[in-house]
A and B are shown apart, each in its own frame.
Chain A
Amino acid sequence: MGTVMRVRLNEAEYEIEVLEYTPGHKGELAHLRANIDGEVLDAEISSDGPDRLHLRFAEDRALVRLAKSGRDFWAFYAGGQALIEPLAGRPAKAVPQGDVTPPMPAVVVRIFSEPGQHVERGDALVVVAAMKMETTLVAPRDGVVSCVNVAEGDKVSPGQVLVEVVPEEEYDGL
């Protein structure tokens, strides 16, 4: 008890702390009291399957269904559905300032940039499409395109660096 855990959910970070926990036994429901980001919640808990929990609060109840995905968990809860990412022992997600990466898995439709090209922040560099919707990826800063790592028609995913933009001074040094 008393350990504070940090998780990310829907782009926001939460601190959670177990205040009191009684495991369930025959004829007795489990009970959990926890501080969820400054608010104390209290619930009786039952389960009707390996990844399904029923939470009963004083005034309300909810089914929470979980599905493990790597270190993370997809959660279905009271109508909401989102990915819970435990943050313990995980470095902060930092994309280098000049890297251009797609926000979702997508296909490269058009490329407007080539190595050596001078760009201003906001200039269109690559157009990607997912599910019939096109998204234009722009230069994250002023500088020079140092490399283009993809071709039209390539399938790409978040985190993959499609284009790198370096400051002018750095490019001269390359």
Chain B
Amino acid sequence: MFSKILVANRGEIAVRIFRTCREMGIRTVAVCSDVDRGAFHVGQADQLVALGGDQPAESYLAIDKIIKAAMDTGAEALHPGYGFLAESPELAAACERAGLTFIGPRSDVLALVGDKIAARELARKAGVPPTAGTDMPSDNRQDLQRQADSLGFPLMIKAAAGGGGKGMRRVERPESLSEALELAASEARSAFGDGRLFLERCIENARHVEVQILADGQGNLVHLFERECSIQRRHQKIIEEAPSPAVNDALRDKLTEAALIVAKAAGYTNAGTVEFLLDDRGNFSFMEVNARLQVEHPVTELITGIDLVEQQIRIAAGETLSTSQQEISCHGHAIECRIYAEDPARGFMPSPGTICAMDFPSGPGVRFDSGVRQGSIVPVDYDPILAKLVTFAADRERAAARMARALQETCILGVKTPIEMLIDIVESKHFIKSNTFTDFIKRYFIDWKPSKARERVALMGWLAAQLADQGSEESSRQLRRNREHLGPGGGHRDDPWHRLGRFRSWD
């Protein structure tokens, strides 16, 4: 087993990985950019290497600096988290050259599954049909236009180098194709340096269902059931759950078998996810392989009781999987809400800033993986994820009620968050009835606004605080007058109303 691991990431995922390392008795190294020197994650590791710079390219994406940090601190393995370099064949190869263990698949496997078209081809050959599409990535507009005409509308434009919803666009009508192609290509070029696009047919009432797999270096392969992640904004997931309410045992057998076939065909090792699109008749098709730990991995951990980060580390260290497929079972229901710094009432516009007050939710069945605490700066430079709230209960209905309760306990002030909207979603009849399709937000919550009734409560509270404040000012004046009469120690007053006036100021 490793004695020291460097985590090449920031925020909640770095904190989450450090926690498992500590439980396993493994020492940890954090890295940080200049803007993150005071970030929550840097304090959670045994050692810290400052990479310098604010821009991701100068810090969390700088392979040379990260490899040097690992060598200098004597780390034996490197965990990439998700995002940044998590699926970079270049980082995996650099680790291989430097004699470091990359906690993830081999560089050639990352390169294979990272090429969306190659992955689709692989799945098709293995007998798992991908979503209907043209599979002819191109940066030629006329070419793509011809492909679109033969595929039909509505269709989905995707980036060949895609990920994180970048370059993805749904096109309803032929008239809007040209502009959408241009925007998607420009987004793909700036995100991946590759403007090639391909087209997929849209499936109506589709759900995003994915299977978690684990594969060791000895050829053992298991699945940890499925997750459903249909509720998305800008093609990025915001609510995930396990198991999927749309998957019965027969379908689960077929889905998990298909996932294992694809992973085996790719020569996959370590933890990974095979994503599928599921239509309302129970037909599913392959979308892609995510060759990393997923943001939403906690829901799987809660229903299986397996620590995925521990498994990743053990597999990377060369251990054989200790559990067989028969020993892995699924209990209860878990739901995760991602809490981003963004304003859901204004098109999910990013909301950087400083967290001036924060209360964590707690209680039965609540897990809160946070990358921030009171006083944290939320910089403009990185992904807006602040924390993930996960609830677990015996069934879906109870897990949803628990989520609403836990969200109501989650106080994050100083930046905008979607917490209020998430409460309304998990309490909505569409969510309760599992009408969770990939267009859920667009269909039911596009015009969502904060509740006026709740705002009135806020103003009542604010008003009461102002009045108490004025009252305590008056009573202090009274107190001073009394003291003058009574001498030292006289007229002492200690009640909450007296203390209420002293708001902490955060500028």
Contacts and interface: CB of A to CB of B under 8 A. Distances in A.
B357 A105 contact: no
Nearest to B450: A10
B2 to A, nearest CB: 31
Contacts of B89: none
B380 A106 contact: yes
B497 A77 contact: no
Given A32-B467, A79-B423, A26 B495 contact: yes
Contact of B381 (A7, A66, A107): A107
Contact of B456 (A37, A45, A65, A69): A37
Interface stretch (A90-98, A131-139, A141-149): A131-139
Contacts of A34: 459-460, 463
B497 A24 contact: yes
Contact of A105 (B380, B450, B464): B380
B419 A81 contact: yes
Interface size class of A (residues with CB under 8 A): 35 or more
Contact of B499 (A50, A79, A107): A50
Interface residues of B, number: 62
Interface SS majority for chain A: strand
Contact of A66 (B346, B350, B351, B462): B462
B51 to A, nearest CB: 18
A160 interface: no
A36 B413 contact: no
Given A48-B496, A69-B507, A82-B455, A130 B380 contact: yes
B495 A25 contact: yes
Interface stretch (B41-49, B114-122, B324-332, B404-412): B404-412
Interface in B448-507: 449-451, 454-465, 467-468, 471, 495-497, 499-507
B496 A55 contact: no
Nearest to B500: A47
A75 B462 contact: yes
Given A130-B380, A131-B350, A41 B460 contact: yes
A104 B351 contact: yes
Interface in A1-50: 5, 7, 9-12, 14, 16, 18, 21, 23-26, 30, 32, 34, 36-37, 39, 41, 43, 45-50
Interface in B338-366: 341-342, 345-346, 349-353, 356-357, 359
Contacts of A36: 456, 459-460
B380 A82 contact: no
Nearest to B164: A132
B459 A9 contact: yes
A5 to B, nearest CB: 8
A18 B467 contact: yes
B468 A30 contact: yes
A62 B496 CA distance: 18
A173 interface: no
A153 to B, nearest CB: 8
Nearest to A11: B345
A87 to B, nearest CB: 13
Contact of B352 (A62, A77, A105): A105
A21 B467 contact: yes
A14 B459 contact: yes
Contacts of A26: 495
Given A7-B462, A24-B495, 16 more contacts: A9-B455, A18-B467, A23-B468, A32-B460, A36-B460, A43-B464, A53-B465, A65-B359, A73-B462, A73-B503, A75-B462, A79-B423, A82-B416, A106-B380, A130-B380, A134-B187
Interface of A: 5, 7, 9-12, 14, 16, 18, 21, 23-26, 30, 32, 34, 36-37, 39, 41, 43, 45-51, 53, 55, 62, 64-70, 73-82, 84, 103-107, 129-135, 155
Query: What 6 A-B pairs have minimum CB-CB distances, sorted nearest first?
Result: A64-B461, A74-B413, A77-B458, A131-B350, A67-B357, A130-B350
